[in-house]
Every structure is written in structure tokens, then in C-alpha cells.
């Protein structure tokens, strides 16, 4: 049994997340975690809300709440939606936790002690009307790289270029919209990433199995232009981790906090400590996942994220870990994703554009969305969500292929043999051929899942479902029953075992439906089918089952048209 640490990029606290956020990190991470657990591995699956920085302050200001109250409320809402989508986190933490505060200050102290932090006087935008500095997202303007007119002061949402507020063209205050701005001098801490460039480059070069998307972005930021730049890690805002050097005050940094992108990745570690606290564990229990000198040497660590997060996870966070000169577990594999687009543009939390997680669950169960999003995951390029494609995929894959198979087998068996597995007949040539084909497909499915090839895994799972339909159509137990009832009993028995098999294989993709299938077959604790032939004989004659309700209702044209119209604008 292997040990796997899995982290998903932390969603910002500033509102309900859209489907693009979901498929870009949390959902494929959950797919992988569920698969590994199904194979018997020990898994620690961690995520958290990213609560510091200007997005939280700006969002709280709009609602009139204190920022701490806003973050507490939104954490609860995001956690509930995560459960609604079946995201199986071992812990869903908060970057504002005491654990993260202490660890962030610890890393800053270690980096400073090792000479990797410098104090820099810099010029920063100051709003005269707001009487404050405007760091990061408190300032908006036109991106100097692509011309996007709603770029933020830390990063352009359109082209993903990292920015400083002073880079923006025609800047304005995100608080008041004021353009009455001037540049003033202030002092901040910088992480000396440039001093760690050779070590980071060697580490990236050693990752020969990473996706091209991940390594190309990492090398671009490492080598383009002047190469890896030192990065400011403090800001002139109130909401965040107070600047300290370990447990000591930092003279000259009073009133400042650490930059959100410095403390957010540290929350992966802190959230694991939060898991230990919440479950009556000791520090040794979480450190065995993160400290190589305390048991983490045999851990495989995998991160999932959208491509806009890659620079911070391949450069800045590794610089923090390497620069600490402590034996922290570094990531082994980064699975990155392109964007999911909507109606020709990007999903956007800040602009309220697209379908959001709460609205999605209002209109359809989670498995409908899980299946479409994963089977169309933006791996090799951007993917576009359209209501027509969504309708077709749900109706064909889920209703016509899987749902129809389960319905036909169980209802036929109930009408002819009752709700027990029927006795009679033995598997013949056609059944053995099916088992052989299933074995080939399942081994391929396992390979794609282990390699985190999400779309290929979905295609292989669908092909496994299709095999059952093709067998059922060819065997035609409803015809066999008229002349050879024992043969029909055998065919139905095989079909019921297929449902049990499908429940196990489908659980990573559609966990709610898989659970319903397993419970209907009376085998909620079924193990992974390492031996497919044995799995196809697991349900013996006399075993009691129930006939489940229709697993998937088809999406009608009227429903599609209604939803297309409802979600054509911005979130309301």
C-alpha cells in the first residue's frame, strides 16, 4: 500500500466558485484521490479556502461585513458546496488558521536566517482619496502585456502575466474608482528567488514526467527576460498573517502582513496540521506526510491546479521550502489544466460570468456535472462548455448507456425471477469473451487513471459501460427466457454482476450514482476488481438486490433552452 499526499489549489474566499474553478483543480484531484483509495492506498487529500489579501477585503466591503466574519461565512458555504459535489477532502481548511499563521511566520524566519529575504524600499501606488496604499487587487487598470482593461495589480486574469500595481496603464482604485493616485515610497520584504534559481532549475529539470503545460510555464518564468525575479512577500493591508520573524517581531515591518501568495501554499501543510487537530491526532501524525525526516520520504505528493497557478507552485513555493533548508516534502507531480470557457469567453468569479457551483446543484445532481466536466477536462487545450454539448453528453453517456443498462437488467430480472440473483446455467463463450474484453479495458482504465489522464480515463470507462450494453443486446435474455430460461438466468446474473462492477469502477467519476448502484446490489463494500473473472461471479444465486430508481433523467430541449437563457448573462 502506497502513501499519497494530494493537494488542490486553494479557491479564493471571495464568492461561490464557478465550474471552471471546479474542473481546474478540485474535481480532478478528487477523481485521483477516490481512485487511489479504491485501489487500497493511503491517501491524504487536502484543500482549504484562501482567505487573505485584497479579494477578501473587497468582497467583505461589498457585503458590509467584517472581513473575518465574511471569511467564516464563505468558508462554510464553500465547504458545503464541496460536499454537495462529493469532493472527498480529508480536511478542508482555512488559510486564516492559527496553524497557518505560525507556519508562515516560521518559514519567514528560516528564510531570513538563511539570507533569502531582503528589505527593499519601493515605490507603490497611493490613493489620495482613499488615504491608503493600493497593493495588488486594490488597484485595477489596463494590462501592459495584452491590453485587457480589467487587469488586477498582481496578475492579469486574461493573459496570466504576473504584474506589480505600478505596471498598470491608466490605474484606478478598486475601492472607490478614483484615479487620484500617486506613487509613494514604502518598505517591504522580498523573497530572494534569484539566489535560489540554480537549485529550482535543477529541481524542475529532474521532473521529466511532468505535463508539458506545467514545465513550459515553469521554464518560461524561470528563463524569459531577466529570469527568475525576487518577489515581494509583504503588503500594506490589515487582513493577513502579521509579519514576524518566527516568533519574534520584525522591526520596521509593523502593521504589514505577508502577501497572500506567500502564505497560501503554506496552508497545504497547515491544513494537514488542522486535520490532525480536528481528529485528535498528534503533530507526528501530520508531519509524517510533510517531513522527510519524520516519515514522509515514502510519500508521493501530487498537486492539481489551473495553469495560472503554476508559476507560484513551481517557483515561489519551492523557493520557500528549499530556502528554509528543512527536509520538507517537495511536490513530485503537478497536474495542471487549461481553461474551461463559456460562450466564447472565460468563466470569471470576479465578473460573475458562467455557471457557478450553487446554481449548478440547484438544477441537476452533482454526478451530471462531474461526468461532463471530467470527460471534457481542459487538459491538452481549453475546453468550451455549451448547453447543447452538456445535454448530449448526459443523455447519451449517462442516461442511454449506463442508466439504461442498469434499468433493463434489474427490471427484467424482477419481472421474471424476482429481486434475487437467479440460479441456472454457466458462463459460455460469449460471456468469457466479454470478461476478456472487460479485463483489457479495465487494465487500460487503471493505466490512464494512474497517469492522471482524465479524459482518456472517462472515455475508457464509457467504453466499459458500452461493453455491457452490447452484450445485453446480443444475448437478449428476454428472448432466451422463452425457450431456455436457465440461459436467461445466467445472462441476467452476469448483468447484475456487471452493475456491481460498474459501481466500483465508476465511483471516482460519479460517486453518488455508484453508491446507489452498489447499495441496490447489496455490495456497498465491494473491492477493486483485480481479478475480473472473479468479480463477475461475486453475486451468487439467491443474493438479494433491489431495483433502483431511474439513475439519470434525460435533459429535455425545453430545459436546455431555459438554462441557456438563465445563464447567458452574469451571476445574479
Known binding-site residue numbers for ATP: 349
Concatenated DSSP letters of 483-508? H-HHHHHHHHHHHHHHHHHHHHHHTT
CA 98 – CA 18 distance, rounded (Å):
28
Q: Are the beta carbons of 306 and 276 closer than 8 angstroms?
A: no
- Are 535 and 496 in contact by the 8 Å Cβ rule? The answer is no
- From the annotation, which residues make up the binding site for Zn(2+)? 143, 146, 156, 159
Q: Are 174 and 133 in contact (CB under 8 A)?
A: no
The separation between CA 470 and the C-alpha centre of its own chain, rounded to angstroms, equals 34
Residues pairing with 231 in the sheet? 191
Pairwise CA distance, residues 52 & 43, whole Å: 28
The partner residues of 155 in beta bridges, in order of sequence, read 162
- Give the separation between CA 52 and CA 256, rounded to whole angstroms: 13
- For 237-355, strand residue ranges (E) read 244-245, 248-249, 257-258, 299-306, 333-337, 340-342, 345-346
Q: Are 92 and 44 in contact, with CB atoms under 8 Å apart? A: no
C-alpha count within 13 angstroms, C-beta hemisphere, residue 248: 10
Tell me the binding residues.
Answer: 143, 146, 156, 159, 349
Q: Of 237, 320, 300, 267, which is closest to residue 92 (Cα–Cα)?
A: 267
Q: For residue 255, what are the CA distances in angstroms to 112, 118, 235, 244, 414? A: 19, 18, 9, 11, 71
- Grid coordinates in use for 151? 487587469
Neighbours of 199 (CB within 10 A): 13
**What sections of 376-510 are H helices per DSSP?**
387-393, 404-416, 429-450, 454-475, 477-483, 485-506
3-class DSSP state of 191? strand
Which residues, in sequence order, are bridge partners of residue 173?
139
Contacts with 555 (C-beta within 8 Å, 6 or more apart), sequence order: 364, 390, 391, 394, 395
Q: Left, alpha or beta for 32 (phi > 0: left; psi -120 to 50: alpha)? A: alpha
For the chain, state the CA radius of gyration. 27
For residue 98, CA distances in Å to 27, 68, 273 come to 27, 13, 10
Dist. CA 471–CA 112, nearest whole Å: 66
Classify 334 as helix, strand or coil. Answer: strand
Amino acid at each position: 500500500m502506497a502513501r499519497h499526499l494530494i493537494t488542490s489549489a486553494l479557491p479564493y474566499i471571495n464568492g461561490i466558485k464557478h465550474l471552471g474553478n471546479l474542473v481546474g483543480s478540485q474535481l480532478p484531484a478528487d477523481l485521483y484521490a477516490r481512485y487511489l483509495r479504491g485501489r487500497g492506498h493511503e491517501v491524504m487529500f487536502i484543500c482549504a479556502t484562501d482567505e487573505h489579501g485584497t479579494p477578501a477585503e473587497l468582497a467583505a466591503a461589498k457585503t458590509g461585513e467584517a472581513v473575518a466574519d465574511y471569511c467564516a461565512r464563505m468558508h462554510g458555504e464553500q465547504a458545503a458546496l464541496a460536499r454537495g459535489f462529493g469532493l472527498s477532502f480529508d480536511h478542508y481548511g482555512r488559510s486564516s488558521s492559527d496553524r497557518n499563521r505560525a507556519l508562515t511566520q516560521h518559514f519567514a524566519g528560516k528564510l531570513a536566517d538563511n539570507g533569502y529575504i531582503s528589505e527593499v524600499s519601493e515605490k507603490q501606488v497611493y490613493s489620495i482619496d482613499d488615504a491608503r496604499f493600493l497593493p495588488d487587487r486594490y488597484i485595477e487598470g489596463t494590462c501592459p502585456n495584452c491590453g485587457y482593461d480589467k487587469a488586477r495589480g498582481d496578475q492579469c486574469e486574461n493573459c496570466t502575466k504576473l504584474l506589480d500595481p505600478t505596471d498598470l496603464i491608466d490605474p484606478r482604485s478598486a475601492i472607490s474608482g478614483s484615479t487620484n493616485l500617486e506613487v509613494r515610497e514604502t518598505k517591504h520584504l522580498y523573497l530572494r528567488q534569484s539566489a535560489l534559481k540554480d537549485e529550482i532549475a535543477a529541481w524542475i529539470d529532474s521532473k521529466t514526467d511532468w505535463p508539458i503545460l506545467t514545465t513550459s510555464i515553469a521554464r518560461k518564468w524561470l528563463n524569459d527576460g531577466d529570469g527568475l525575479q525576487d518577489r515581494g512577500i509583504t503588503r500594506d493591508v490589515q487582513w493577513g498573517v502579521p509579519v514576524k520573524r518566527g516568533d519574534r517581531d520584525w522591526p520596521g515591518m509593523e502593521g504589514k502582513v505577508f502577501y497572500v501568495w506567500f502564505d497560501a501554499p503554506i496552508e497545504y501543510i497547515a491544513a494537514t496540521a488542522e486535520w490532525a487537530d480536528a481528529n485528535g491526532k498528534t503533530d507526528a501524525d501530520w508531519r509524517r506526510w510533510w517531513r522527510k525526516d519524520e516519515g514522509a520520504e515514502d510519500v508521493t505528493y501530487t498537486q492539481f491546479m489551473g495553469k495560472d497557478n503554476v508559476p507560484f507552485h513551481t517557483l515561489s513555493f519551492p523557493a520557500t521550502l528549499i530556502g528554509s533548508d528543512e527536509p520538507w516534502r517537495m511536490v513530485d507531480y503537478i497536474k495542471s489544466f487549461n481553461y474551461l470557457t463559456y460562450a466564447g469567453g472565460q468563466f470569471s468569479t470576479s465578473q460573475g460570468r458562467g455557471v457557478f457551483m450553487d446554481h449548478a446543484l440547484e438544477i441537476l445532481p452533482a454526478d451530471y456535472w462531474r461526468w461532463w466536466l471530467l470527460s471534457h477536462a481542459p487538459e491538452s487545450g481549453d475546453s468550451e462548455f455549451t448547453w447543447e454539448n452538456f445535454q448530449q453528453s448526459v443523455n447519451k453517456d449517462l442516461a442511454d448507456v449506463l442508466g439504461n443498462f442498469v434499468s433493463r437488467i434489474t427490471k427484467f430480472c424482477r419481472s421474471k425471477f424476482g429481486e434475487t440473483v437467479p440460479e441456472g446455467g454457466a458462463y459460455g463463450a460469449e460471456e468469457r469473451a466479454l470478461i476478456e474484453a472487460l479485463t483489457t479495458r479495465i487494465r487500460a482504465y487503471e493505466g490512464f487513471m494512474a497517469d492522471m489522464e482524465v479524459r482518456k480515463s472517462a472515455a475508457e470507462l464509457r467504453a466499459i459501460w458500452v461493453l455491457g450494453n452490447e452484450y445485453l443486446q446480443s444475448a437478449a435474455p428476454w428472448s432466451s427466457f422463452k425457450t431456455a430460461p436457465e440461459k436467461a438466468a445466467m445472462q441476467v446474473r452476469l448483468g447484475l454482476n456487471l452493475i456491481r462492477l460498474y459501481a466500483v469502477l465508476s465511483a471516482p467519476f460519479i460517486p453518488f450514482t455508484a453508491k446507489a448502484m452498489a447499495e441496490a446490489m447489496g455490495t456497498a463494500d465491494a473491492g477493486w476488481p483485480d481479478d475480473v473473472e472473479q468479480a463477475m461471479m461475486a453475486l451468487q444465486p439467491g443474493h438479494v438486490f433491489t431495483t433502483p430508481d431511474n439513475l439519470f433523467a434525460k435533459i429535455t430541449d425545453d430545459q436546455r433552452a431555459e438554462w441557456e437563457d438563465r445563464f447567458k448573462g452574469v451571476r445574479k
